[in-house]
C-alpha cells in the first residue's frame, strides 16, 4: 500500500502515518525527519538545507524532492507512507512524475479532515507543552489560512485522479486510526481484485460514528 498524507497542521499526520506504516509493514517517510537526518549527517543536501534554515528560508522544492528521490531509491518494500509532502500543487505533480518513473505512484491520497476550532485547540495545547510562546491563536490561524490557500487545492487534483480518500480525524486518535485502517483495507481489496477499474474519490468523513460501531 502506497499512501500520501494530506492534512492541515494539527490533524495528526505523524501519528496516523506511524499507525498505517506499522499495519501494512511499509516505511513511514516523514520529510521533516529526512531533512533533520541529512543536516545531522552533514551530507551535501544537508548543507544546503542548513543554509536555508540558517537564513530563515523555506527549503526549496527541488531539495526536498531530491531527498525523497534518494529515499525511494533505498526502499526495499513496494509500499510506503509519505508524510510532509506535497505541500503545493507543483510539489504534487513533481512527486507524481518521480513516482511514475519508478512505477510506484500512490494508491491513496488520505485526507484527514478536522475543523479549524479543533485544530487551533490541539496546536495551542501542543504549544503549551513545548513552551512555544510564539504559537498564539493568531499565528496558528494564519498557518491554517496558508494551508487552505496553498495546500488544500491539491485535494481537487487527487480527486480528479480518483485516489482521494477523506476521513473524519476529529475523533480520538485511536478511533481515527481504526477508521483509516478499515478504509485502506477496503481500498487494498479493490486494488487486488480489480486493479484496472477506474476509481473514484471516497469521502468517509461523515461516517465516523457508523465506522465506530462496525469496528
Active site residues: 13, 87, 126, 132, 143
How many angstroms separate the CA atoms of 153 and 165, rounded?
A: 15
Structure letter (DSSP) for residue 57: P
Helix or strand holding residue 113 (H, E): strand 108-113
Q: Is 12 left (phi over 0), alpha (psi -120 to 50) or beta?
A: left
What are the residues whose beta carbons fall under 8 Å from the beta carbon of 175, sequence distance 6 or more?
Answer: 208, 212
Instruction: Enumerate the β-bridge partners of residue 110.
Output: 5, 165
| Residue 30, helix vs strand vs coil | strand
Query: How far is 179 from 158, CA to CA, in rounded Å?
Result: 20
Give, to the nearest 10 degrees, the angle between helix 89-101 and helix 154-161: 40
Count the alpha carbons within 13 Å of 161 in the hemisphere toward its beta carbon.
Answer: 17
Question: What is 136-201 written as a DSSP string?
Answer: -HHHHHHHHHHIIIIITTHHHHHHHHT-EEEEE-SS-HHHHHHHHHHHHHHHHHHHHH-TTS----
Amino acid at each position: 500500500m502506497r499512501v500520501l498524507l494530506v492534512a492541515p497542521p494539527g490533524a495528526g499526520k505523524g501519528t496516523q502515518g506511524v499507525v498505517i506504516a506499522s499495519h501494512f509493514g511499509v516505511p513511514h517517510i516523514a520529510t521533516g525527519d529526512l531533512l533533520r537526518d541529512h543536516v545531522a549527517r552533514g551530507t551535501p543536501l544537508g548543507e544546503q538545507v542548513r543554509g536555508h534554515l540558517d537564513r530563515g528560508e523555506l527549503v526549496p522544492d527541488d531539495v526536498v524532492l531530491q531527498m525523497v528521490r534518494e529515499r525511494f531509491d533505498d526502499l526495499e518494500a513496494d509500499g510506503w507512507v509519505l508524510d510532509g509532502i506535497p505541500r503545493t500543487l507543483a510539489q504534487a505533480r513533481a512527486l507524481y512524475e518521480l513516482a511514475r518513473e519508478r512505477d510506484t505512484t500512490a494508491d491513496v491520497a488520505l485526507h484527514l479532515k478536522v475543523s479549524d476550532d479543533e485544530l487551533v485547540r490541539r496546536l495551542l495545547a501542543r504549544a503549551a507543552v513545548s513552551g512555544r510562546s510564539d504559537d498564539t491563536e493568531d499565528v496558528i490561524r494564519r498557518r491554517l489560512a496558508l494551508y487552505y490557500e496553498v495546500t488544500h487545492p491539491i485535494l481537487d487534483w487527487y480527486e480528479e485522479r480518483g485516489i482521494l480518500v477523506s476521513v473524519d480525524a476529529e475523533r480520538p486518535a485511536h478511533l481515527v486510526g481504526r477508521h483509516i485502517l478499515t478504509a485502506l483495507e477496503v481500498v487494498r481489496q479493490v486494488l487486488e481484485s480489480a486493479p484496472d477499474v477506474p476509481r473514484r474519490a471516497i469521502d468517509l468523513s461523515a461516517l465516523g460514528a457508523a465506522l465506530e460501531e462496525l469496528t
